Amino acid sequence: MMVSCSRLYSGGILYMKKMNLTVFAIILLTIAGCAGNNEVVPQASEPSSGVGETLIAPTPYPTPTPYPTPTPYPTPTPYPTPTPYPTPTAYPTPTPVPEPTPTPIPAPTPTPTPMPTPVPTVAPTPTPIPTPSGSVPLLFHSLSGTVTVGGETPPDGTVMEARVGWYISDPVTIYNGVYVIVLAPNDWALQLESITFHIGDKQATETVQYDGRTMGYNSGFKLTFP
């Protein structure tokens, strides 16, 4: 171990002549480490230049190859701002074309064929039988009383007539449900015939016999119509 440190010390002297102070400092630090191991390093005399030892020059570190400067990425070309689509123009609402209302063709009004107005057949008035010789002319017959139609008093102004055979009396008007009527047929052919009473097409239930030989007068003769 002592021999190794001596050689190292001797070699250090030689290196000092050829190396810079930095290398020398490293050698001194190495020697100091050996002294820490309790070994006495004898001072060596400076070797003569004639010593046959070959000095090995340290291999220099290779110069590091510099990294190539990185090629910068090209600045990306910004995308062009898209052109907005134009707002579509709204189609105008079509104006509805009203369909023409067809003019109705009026149906021809049929002309009614006029019906001939029937001519009422007038029953011929029979010739009254004259008063027989030695007899007086027939006298009139008078009647009066109350009237009901359908169980009720007819309205004022209701018209009524009396009939006997072919003879029809003059019409009379009813007021307050009371009538007064007079017959004068003056026809012996109607002697003792029945007298009937009529309001329009309604006939009273009651009848009375005509007798013109005497003056007939019936008061309180009630007539009842359906």
CA pseudo-torsion sign 184, 186, 190, 192: positive
Residue 107 CB burial class (10 angstroms; 0-12, 13-18, ≥19) = exposed
The DSSP code for 187 is: -
Query: In this predicted model, which residue has the larger pLDDT, 29 or 54?
Result: 29
pLDDT at 50: 46
Query: Is the confidence at residue 213, as pLDDT, over 50?
Result: yes
Per-residue pLDDT at 11: 60
pLDDT for 202? 94
Banded model confidence at residue 3, pLDDT cuts 50, 70, 90: very low
- Give 123's pLDDT tier (boundaries 50, 70, 90): low
**What is the model's pLDDT at position 200?**
92
CB 226 within 8 A of CB 150: yes
CB 174 within 8 A of CB 223: no
Residue pair 181/195 in contact (Cβ under 8 Å)? The answer is no
Provide mean pLDDT across the span 199-224.
91
pTM: 0.44
In whole angstroms, give the CA distance from residue 198 to residue 2: 186
